[in-house]
Amino acid sequence: MKIVPVVNINGLLVDIEDAKISVFDRGFLYGDSIYEVTRTYNRIPVLLDEHLDRLWYSAERLSIPMIHSRELIKNEINKTLVKLNQDDAYIRVIITRGEGEIGLDPNLSTNNNLIIITKHLKGYPSWWYEDGVTLITAQIMRNPKNATDPSIKSGNYLNNVMAMTEASKQKAFDAIMLNQQGFVTEGTCSNIWIIKDGVINTPPLHAGILDGITKQQLLKLIKERGLKASELNFTPDDIKNSDECFMSSSTREIVPVKSLDGVTIGTGKPGIITKQLMSLYKNSTRAMTVPK
Active site residues: 153
Instruction: Name the pairing type of β-strands 133-137 and 253-260.
Output: parallel
Please answer whether residues 94 and 34 qualify as being in contact, where contact means their C-beta atoms are separated by less than 8 angstroms: yes
Please answer whether residues 224 and 215 qualify as being in contact, where contact means their C-beta atoms are separated by less than 8 angstroms: no
| H helix or E strand, kind and range, residue 159 | helix 158-169
Task: State the virtual CA torsion across 213, 216, 221, 227 in degrees, nearest 10.
Answer: 140
The C-alpha R_g of the chain, in whole angstroms, comes to 19
Helix (H, G, I), strand (E, B) or coil at 252: coil
Alpha-carbon gap, residue 164 to 24, rounded angstroms: 28
Alpha-carbon gap, residue 292 to 222, rounded angstroms: 27
One-letter amino acid at 161 equals V
Alpha-carbon gap, residue 182 to 234, rounded angstroms: 9
| H helix or E strand, kind and range, residue 34 | strand 33-41
One-letter amino acid at 283 equals N
Instruction: Name the pairing type of β-strands 33-41 and 44-45.
Output: antiparallel
Please answer whether residues 149 and 155 qualify as being in contact, where contact means their C-beta atoms are separated by less than 8 angstroms: no
Alpha-carbon gap, residue 99 to 272, rounded angstroms: 51
Alpha-carbon gap, residue 85 to 99, rounded angstroms: 32
